[in-house]
Amino acid sequence: MSQILQALREALPWLVWTLPPLLLLLVAPLCGTRGRTTIATVLVLGALPMGWLAFAQRAAVARAEVVNRFPAGPDKTPTRFVIEVVERPAWQWPLVGLAALLVPALLLLVQRERRPAPPAPALHCALLGSHALAVRLALEKTAAPPELHWAIGVSLPLVLLLPFLGAYCGLRRMPVAAWVAQLFLLGLLHRGVVVAVGWFCTTRHLGTHLDVSPIHEVNLFLQGPMNFRDDPAGAWTALLLIPQLAIWIPVTVALGLLLGVVPYMAARRRKS
């Protein structure tokens, strides 16, 4: 736990860059033409430092470890597993950050004339979560600072997504049962993407934190000691499939109810 908390502390400075764009993209569907144009402009301006950084590092080489953590040993100690060591030209990862901001900015400009309306709750949040996942994987493969991996990781944005999902459901006048169903659908959609990409990365040894093929021995809290040497499919099942679907989907629903109850109720009152 101490290792995870340390990683989160190191990621905090990067949240200044990663969380505001997500917040703007969550607000954007509720904005009119002027609001969407303003948000797109802010995203473009936020991307400019990434372009400058890519130019400034054009002659350098970046090297970074991609790691994952799972319990291992007789005491089930959270253990740091190095999945791969990536070495790339240092200009590559800032360009990933540049694209991560410019692509949604362009989409907002294309859709700026749309009528303001709450989006399909689970689908919109799942798309944003999948965008965050794609950016994280690209950053890992381009040797971005590991702290940035954590800041762009899905678990932190999830905390921001869930209150907005509650607000979207409230604005759409959905009953509580439909709100819970949307939370379950969000968990299923996003975790399904994680599991599918994890299968592809693991069985083909493609790297990123979703490649669990280099992890051979763990001691999981429910399953106990397990050995996955020469069994990438077994590693994927135990380390990705089961926890993502059996643990993270219920966590999404429970956390969504906790974080979304106030926005949900406030949005319903505002609409009435």
pLDDT of residue 207: 93
Distance CA(68)–CA(240), nearest Å, equals 12
Question: d(Cα 224, Cα 226) in Å, to the nearest integer?
Answer: 6
pLDDT computed for residue 155 by the predictor: 64
Contacts of 138 (CB under 8 A, 6+ apart): 96, 100
pLDDT at 17: 81
- Please give the helix or strand (H or E) that residue 40 lies within, else none: helix 33-56
The predicted pLDDT at position 30 comes to 96
Provide the pLDDT for residue 154. 57
Question: Can you tell me which residue has the tokens 């090297």?
Answer: 63
Q: What is the pLDDT of residue 8?
A: 65
- Cα gap 140→146, rounded to integer Å: 8
Tokens of 25: 């993209």
Q: What is the dihedral of CA 228, 243, 10, 219, to 10 degrees?
A: -40
Give the pLDDT confidence score for residue 221 in this predicted structure. 83
pLDDT averaged per 10 residues in sequence order, the chain, 272 residues? 60 81 95 96 95 95 93 88 96 96 96 94 95 94 90 75 96 96 96 96 95 93 87 95 94 95 93 52
Spatial separation of the C-alpha atoms in residues 189 and 174, rounded to whole Å? 20
Residue 240 backbone dihedrals phi, psi, to 5 degrees: -120, -60
C-alpha count within 13 angstroms, C-beta hemisphere, residue 186? 34
Q: Is 61 helix (H, G, I), strand (E, B) or coil?
A: strand
Calpha distance 167→90 (Å, rounded): 40
| Collapsed DSSP state (helix, strand, coil) of residue 186 | helix
Instruction: State the residue for tokens 């991996």.
Output: 149
Q: What is the rounded distance in angstroms from the CA atom of residue 129 to the CA atom of residue 22? A: 9
